[in-house]
Amino acid sequence: MAQRIPQEVIEEVRQRTNIVDVVGQYVQLKKSGKNYMGLCPFHEERSPSFSVAEDKQIFHCFGCGKGGTVFNFLQEIEGINFPESVRRVAELEQIPVNIDWTNATDSDSKENLQNRKLIELHKKAADLYHHVLMNTQIGEPALNYLLDRGLTKELIETFKIGFAPQKRDFLSQVFQNEEVAENLSKESGLFIQRDNGEFLDRFYQRVMFPINDDRGNVIAFSGRLLKTEHFSGDDMPKYLNSPETVLFNKRDTLFNFDKARKEIRKENTVFLFEGFMDVIAAWQAGITSGVASMGTSLTNEQIRKLERVAKELVVCYDGDTAGVEATNRAISLLSEHSRFQLSVVSIPEKLDPDEYLRKYGDASFRELALHGRETVFSFKMQYHRLTRNMNNEKEQLDYVNDLLQELILVQSPLERDRYLNQLAQEFQLSFHSLEEQLKQLETQQRSTKRRERQQQIAPPPQDFEMEGMLEPPEMFEEVATPTVQNKLPLTQVEKAERTLLYRLMNEQSVRNQMIQLPDFNFAHDHYQELYLLLDSYMSIHDEFLLADFLDYLKEEAIKKLAIDISLQTISDESSEREIADVLKVIANSSLEELITEKQQQKKEAERLGNKQLVDELAIEVISLVKQLQKSRTAS
C-alpha cells in the first residue's frame, strides 16, 4: 500500500539539490546580482521577470506571480503532483526513492500509477525491439540496412533503435504471457484490437525509433517500413507513428530533446531538423543539439519548449523543393511567434542532411552546419527567386518589392544597409530609392497594425447590453495580457507587518522576543495566519529553511505571501529600535481600529436614544485616544 513520503526524505532530496541547476534545464537563466533571471515559462513575456534565488532556493515570477520551491516548479511545469516532483528531483540527483510513496488523492495516485505502468510497457517494448535488432537472425536485414546507411552500432545503441518482426502477434504474445492487463494494452497505442477482442501488433516489419519524453522515458515509437525480397509492403506507409495517448502528445513532443537539452543549453543553440534520421546522422557527425518535430509542422508548444533553453535556432531542413517550402513556413512561424535569433543551413544538391552526410562525410557536414549558416533574409533572397522569371523586368520589380517587405523584419542597421546595397547593385537601382520605398512600406505596416489594434479595443455599439454582463467580451480577454502585476501600495501598517515577518523568518533572536508577547496579534488576518503557521513550523524544526517552509504551507495564497515577504530588500540584520518601531505601528493600528469601532457604536447608541450607553462609550473612546497618544509620544 502506498505511504506518504517521509519528511526526512523530502529534506534530503531538497538539500542535495540546487534549484538553479533544475530550473536551468527548462529556463535560460542569466546571473543578475545574487539571483538569476529568465523569461517565465508559465506565461508569455518579452522582458525577463522570472527570478531564481539560489540562496533561498526558491523561484518567483514578478509578472504572473507564480513561485515556490524546486518541487513546486516541477509540479507546475510538468503537470505532476508533489510526490512525482520529489521523485523527479531525486532522479536528477540520483537519489534512490520508494516508488510507492504518495500524498496525492486516490484518483491522482491511480492516474500516476497507470502512467508509470504504460511507461514500463514502452520500455519493455523498446528493449525487446532493440534485442531483436542487435542479437537475432530475424533482425539482421534491419541491422544491415542501418549499417549500410552509415550508422554505427554505438549510435544504434545510443538511440535504442530496434526492429519489429513481420509476425503480427510478436509483441502481443510477449505481453499476454506476462499477463499485462487488457486496458493497458488498449491504452498503450502499441496494438490494434480486432472486433473479436484479439490484439495485433501495430508495428511489424519496421525499423523502430523510440520517442522519449523530456525525462528520457519511452512514450511512443516511429517505425520505418523495411522492404525485402520476401516483403514488398507496397500498400503500407513508409513511416508509421504511435497514435496519441495519455503519454504521447505530438504537439508537445520533440524527437531527441531529452538527449540534446544539455548541449543546447551549453551552446545556446538548437538545430531543427525535419526527420529522425537527420537528427541521428547529425549526432554521429558531432552535432548533438539537434531535434525534430513529430512529422508535423512546428507547433507553438514546441517553440516555447525550445525558447526556454536556447537563444539561437538553426533551421536545417531538406534541400529539395518541399524542404525549402517547409523551411520558409518554419521561418515565418518562428519570426512571428518566437524571440529566436534565426539562421538557415541550406543543404546543396537538393539533398537531405542524412544524404549529404553519407555523400560528403561528417567533417563536411559539420563545416556546413557550423560555418555555412545564412541569415533569414539571405534565404528569402533565394526563396523568392524560385517561382520567378528573373529575366522579366516586372518580375524583377515584384521580387524587389517582396524582399523589401521581408527586410522590414530585419532589425540590424548593418544587415539592412548590406542587403539594400546588394539589391541596388544587382538591379541597378539607387540605394536612396530603395530606402524610401522601405520607409513607405514600414509606415503602411504601422498604420495597418494601428487600425487592427483600434478595432480590437473599439468601444461596443450604443445598443450593446453592458448591464449585468459578468465577463468581458472575448476580444478584451485576448489583449489583456499584462506582463507585470498591478498592486496597491502598502500601508504603513502592512509595511511594518511584512518587516516583522521577514525578521521572524530570518532571525532567531526576534522569534525569541515574540515568545515573550503571547497576546500579540497582527492587524491583518492573512499576516496573522502566516505568523501562526511560522510559529507552528518552528515548533517542530530547529532552524528556518524557506524552501522547506514553503513545502510545509498548503494554501497557494499563503505560500505566495511568504515568497513576497522573503524577497523584500531589507537590511541584513534588525536592530532593537526597528523591532520596537514595527511592534508599535502594529499595536497602534489595533487601537485605531478599536477607537473607530467604539465611535460607530456610540453613533448607533445616539440614534437609539440610549444615553447611558452613549456616556459609557464616550469615556472608552477618550481612554483609548489617550492610550494611542501616549504610545505615539513614547520614545
252-383 placed in CATH 3.40.1360.10: yes
Question: So what's the pLDDT on residue 173?
Answer: 92
Question: So what's the pLDDT on residue 358?
Answer: 92
Q: Which fold has domain 107-248?
A: DNA primase DNAg catalytic core, N-terminal domain (3.90.980)
3 state DSSP class of 535? helix
Q: Other CB atoms closer than 10 Å to residue 576's CB: what's the count? A: 9
DSSP 8-class letter at 348: G
42 touches 66 (CB < 8 A): yes
Cell readout for 608 is 437609539
Tell me the chain's radius of gyration from C-alpha atoms.
33
DSSP readout, 422-449?
HHHHHHT--HHHHHHHHHHHHHHHHHHH
Question: So what's the pLDDT on residue 480?
Answer: 33
**Look-up: residue for cell 453613533?**
603
Q: Which fold has domain 7-104?
A: DNA Primase; Chain A (3.90.580)
Indicate if the alpha-carbon torsion angle 361, 367, 369, 373 is positive or negative.
Answer: negative
Strands (E) located in 298-450: 312-316, 341-344, 374-375
pLDDT-wise least confident of 175-189, 210-224, 605-619: 605-619
DSSP 8-class letter at 241: E
Give pairs for 33-42: CB < 8 Å, separation 24+. Answer: 38/308, 39/307, 39/308, 39/339, 40/64, 40/66, 41/77, 41/304, 41/308, 42/66, 42/76, 42/77
Question: Which range in 372-386, 433-447, 583-597, 608-622 is most confidently predicted, on average pLDDT?
Answer: 372-386
Reported pTM:
0.68
Cell readout for 485 is 502585476
Alpha-carbon distance of 229 to 27, in angstroms, equals: 50
476 or 437: which leads in pLDDT: 437
Percent of the chain with pLDDT over 70: 89
pLDDT, tens only, 2-61: 556 777 888 888 888 999 999 988 888 889 888 999 989 888 787 889 999 998 999 999
pLDDT, tens only, 158-193: 999 999 999 999 999 999 888 888 888 899 999 998
Alpha-carbon distance of 152 to 247, in angstroms, equals: 30
Give pairs for 400-409: CB < 8 Å, separation 24+. Answer: 400/427, 400/429, 400/434, 401/437, 403/377, 404/434, 404/437, 404/438, 404/441, 405/441, 406/376, 406/377, 406/380, 407/377, 407/438, 408/438, 408/441, 408/442, 408/445, 409/335, 409/376
Alpha-carbon distance of 206 to 222, in angstroms, equals: 9
The domain locations on the chain are 7-104, 107-248, 252-383, 393-452, 492-633
Average pLDDT, integer, range 104-123: 75
Give me the chain's average pLDDT, please: 85
Average pLDDT, integer, range 305-312: 87
Alpha-carbon distance of 310 to 397, in angstroms, equals: 38
Q: 106 pLDDT exceeds 50? A: no
541 or 4: which leads in pLDDT: 541
Q: Other CB atoms closer than 10 Å to residue 44's CB: what's the count? A: 15
Question: So what's the pLDDT on residue 465?
Answer: 37
Alpha-carbon distance of 148 to 79, in angstroms, equals: 42
Percent of the chain with pLDDT over 90: 39
Q: 376 pLDDT exceeds 50? A: yes
Let me know the angle formed at the C-alpha of 603 by 597 and 604, rounded to the nearest 5 degrees: 90
Q: Which residues contact 529 (CB under 8 A, 6 or more apart)?
A: 558
Alpha-carbon distance of 383 to 402, in angstroms, equals: 11
Q: 140 pLDDT exceeds 90? A: yes
pLDDT, tens only, 469-511: 333 333 223 333 334 444 557 778 888 889 999 999 999 999 9
- What is the amino acid identity at position 253? T
Question: So what's the pLDDT on residue 470?
Answer: 34
Q: Bridge-partner residues for 163, per DSSP?
A: 207
534 touches 543 (CB < 8 A): no
**Look-up: residue for cell 532567531?**
508
Question: So what's the pLDDT on residue 635?
Answer: 46
Q: Other CB atoms closer than 10 Å to residue 480's CB: what's the count? A: 9
